[in-house]
Amino acid sequence: MTLGKEKELKEIEDVLCFMVEIEKLKDVHRKTRPVGLNRYENSAEHSWHVCISALMLKDFANEEINIDRVIKMLLIHDLGEIDVGDTIIYASETKQLKEEEAKGVERILSLLPAGKAENYIALWHEFEEGESADSKYAKAIDRVPPLLHNLHGNGHSWNDNNIDKETVLSLNSRIEKGSEKLWRVLKGKLEDAFSNGILK
């Protein structure tokens, strides 16, 4: 076997180790329940949900985006939670927690063959910073499922965590940075639900 071939097989072994390690994201529990289910959502199924949602909503981004980059960003965006767990957006994200999450992302992506991690680590930081067109849109989409879970689930996570209407509206208005049109529709739904008493 040539050295090149041996190296390739070793690289595949590395990716298989990565695949096993990231299984742990299926056991990271979020703060909302999927529509119709009694259990909490996990961050792996959430990651799928935001990727496919970003794809189907791509025409409504404020700026020109590269949807393929957005999807890659969303595929990896929660990997750091394997080490630190999920935090509800209404909690203050401390600098320390973010640093630990960044370390987790680096640890996990470094399981990949040499030279593969850097690109994805940079993509994760771009997502976290939320300043580029792609990351503004990706972050907007990431915020939508918990709204749908609450709208279709009696505001369960807002009740459980004592989040009031003003906080819901003000924090989620960040969706507007990625898609004004999407926020307009969601804001309307939230206001209706609050005024109908579906949300309290």
Nearest-approach distance from CB 29 to a second copy, in angstroms: 12
Residue among 20 and 91 whose Cβ is closer to a second copy:
20
In sequence order, which residues have a C-beta less than 8 Å from that of residue 66 and are 6 or more positions away? Answer: 134
Binding pattern for the stretch 83-102 against a second copy, x by CB under 8 A and - elsewhere = --------------------
Q: Which tokens go with 198?
A: 């579906």
Q: d(Cα 95, Cα 75) in Å, to the nearest integer?
A: 23
- Looking only at residues 32 through 71 of this chain, which bind a second copy when binding is defined by CB under 8 A? 34-37, 41-42, 44-45, 47-49, 51-53, 55-57, 59-60, 68, 71
DSSP 131: -
Q: Which tokens go with 182?
A: 């999407």
CB contact at 8 A, 183 and 61: no
Distances (CA, A) of 112 to 73, 83, 118, 121, 149: 17, 17, 10, 12, 34
- Looking only at residues 106 through 125 of this chain, which bind a second copy when binding is defined by CB under 8 A? 112, 116
144 sits near a second copy (criterion: CB under 8 A): yes
9 sits near a second copy (criterion: CB under 8 A): yes
Of 24, 107, 165, 174, the one binding a second copy by CB under 8 A: 24
Q: Segment near a second copy (CB under 8 A), from 15-23, 90-98, 129-137, 162-170?
A: 15-23
Of 139, 23, 123, 141, nearest in space to 73 by CA: 123
Tokens 């939320």 sit on residue: 130
Beta bridge partners of residue 29, listed in sequence order: 42
Tokens 């930081």 sit on residue: 125
Binding site for a second copy (CB under 8 A): 8-9, 11-13, 15-16, 18-20, 22-27, 34-37, 41-42, 44-45, 47-49, 51-53, 55-57, 59-60, 68, 71-72, 75-76, 112, 116, 144-145, 148, 152, 181-182, 184-186, 189
